[in-house]
Amino acid sequence: MTNPMEIPFFAAGAVAVIATLLAITRTIAVHALLYLIVSLLAVAVVFYTMGAPVVAALEVIIYAGAIVVLFVFVVMMMNLGAQDSETERKWLAWRAWIGPAVLSALLLFEVIYLVVRAPVSATIGSISTPKEIGLALYGPYLLGVELASMLLLGALVGACHVGRISRSGREVQQ
């Protein structure tokens, strides 16, 4: 317990786990999304305490600030009411929990095993200047960057196709 970042690290980790559990069990979709945002912010704090400030900032900007806004946008468009909350509640029957619980338990055991066997050092890197980020992205992680950009290009082409406008200027009916 010599690292001063350890207490914030565990506190943020606990917040992330609790917020994620609440995000799964809430029956009102917007409330669930709020907990998801809290969970993402907690994960950002975890990254920060591990010495990765840029990853923490990107987690906030991209996940909490852009992707979940889109989720909220879609949920608002659907205009869910009390009836949908009731359906949601029925879906959360205890039988639905067995499969995911078994799989998560396996992962949990694996994590515990890894932590007990070989405790990793608290810091995962100290990249914080734009130059270092660029060198890392277009150096050792080039393949990942290219794969992600191809995936995004595919998604973009798909979105353009779905939202295309015909010659007469009207949206194409699917």
Partner 1 sequence: MISHPIASIIGILIVALSLSAFLIWVERRLLALWQDRYGPNRVGPFGLLQVLADMIKIFTKEDWIPPFADKPVFVIAPAIIMVTVLMSFAVLPVAPGIIVSDLNIGLLFFLGMSSLGVYSIVLAGWASGNKYSLLGGLRAAAQMISYEVFMGLSLMGVVLLAGTFNLTRIVEAQRGLWYVVPQFLGFVLFLIAGVAEARRLPFDLPEAEAELVAGFHSEYSGMKFGMFFVGEYLGITLISSMIAVLFLGGWNGPWLPPLAWFLIKVFAFLCFFILLRASLPRLRFDQLMSLGWKVMFPLALANLLVTGAIVLAKK
Q: Which residues bind partner 1 (CB under 8 A)?
A: 28, 30-31, 34, 37, 53-54, 56-58, 60-61, 64-66, 69-70, 72-73, 76-77, 79, 128-131
9/59 with CB nearer partner 1: 59
Shortest distance, CB of residue 117 to partner 1, whole angstroms? Answer: 33
> Which residue, 117 or 164, is less far from partner 1 as judged by CB?
164
- The 3-state secondary structure of the chain, one letter per residue: CCCCCHHHHHHHHHHHHHHHHHHHHCCCHHHHHHHHHHHHHHHHHHHHHCCCHHHHHHHHHHHHHHHHHHHHHHHHHHCCCHHHHHHHHHHCCHHHHHHHHHHHHHHHHHHHHHHHHCCCCCCCCCCCCHHHHHHHHCCCCHHHHHHHHHHHHHHHHHHHHHCCECCCCCECCC
Q: What is the nearest approach in angstroms of partner 1 to the Cβ of residue 101?
A: 29
* Nearer residue to partner 1 within complex by CB, 77 or 116: 77
- To partner 1, the closest distance from the beta carbon of 142 in angstroms equals 17
